[in-house]
Amino acid sequence: MMHAEDISRELGISKGYAYKIIKELNQELKEAGFIVISGRVPRAFWETKFYGNRTQIETV
């Protein structure tokens, strides 16, 4: 699970803005029928939303 501190550090943003991002991602998960934990977001979902599907990235 990603916490606000992790997201803040990874993106170089404030913790307050990281919480805003988490809230938006949790809302998306909730609408898709998942159970969410306030203040945290699953790492796999985080990586998919911010970095895309890494298995499909090809090197040039």
| Chain segment 3-60, per-residue pLDDT in tens | 999 999 999 999 999 999 999 999 999 999 999 999 999 998 988 888 876 554 444 4
Q: What is the pLDDT at residue 52?
A: 76
Whether the CA torsion 14, 17, 21, 23 is positive or negative: it is positive
Q: What is the pLDDT at residue 59?
A: 47
Q: What is the pLDDT at residue 41?
A: 95
Please state the domain count of the chain.
1
Q: What is the pLDDT at residue 37?
A: 93
DSSP E strand stretches across the chain? 2-3, 40-41
Print the domain residue range for 11: 2-56
Residue 51, CB-side half-sphere exposure with 13 Å CA sphere: 12
Q: What is the pLDDT at residue 54?
A: 58
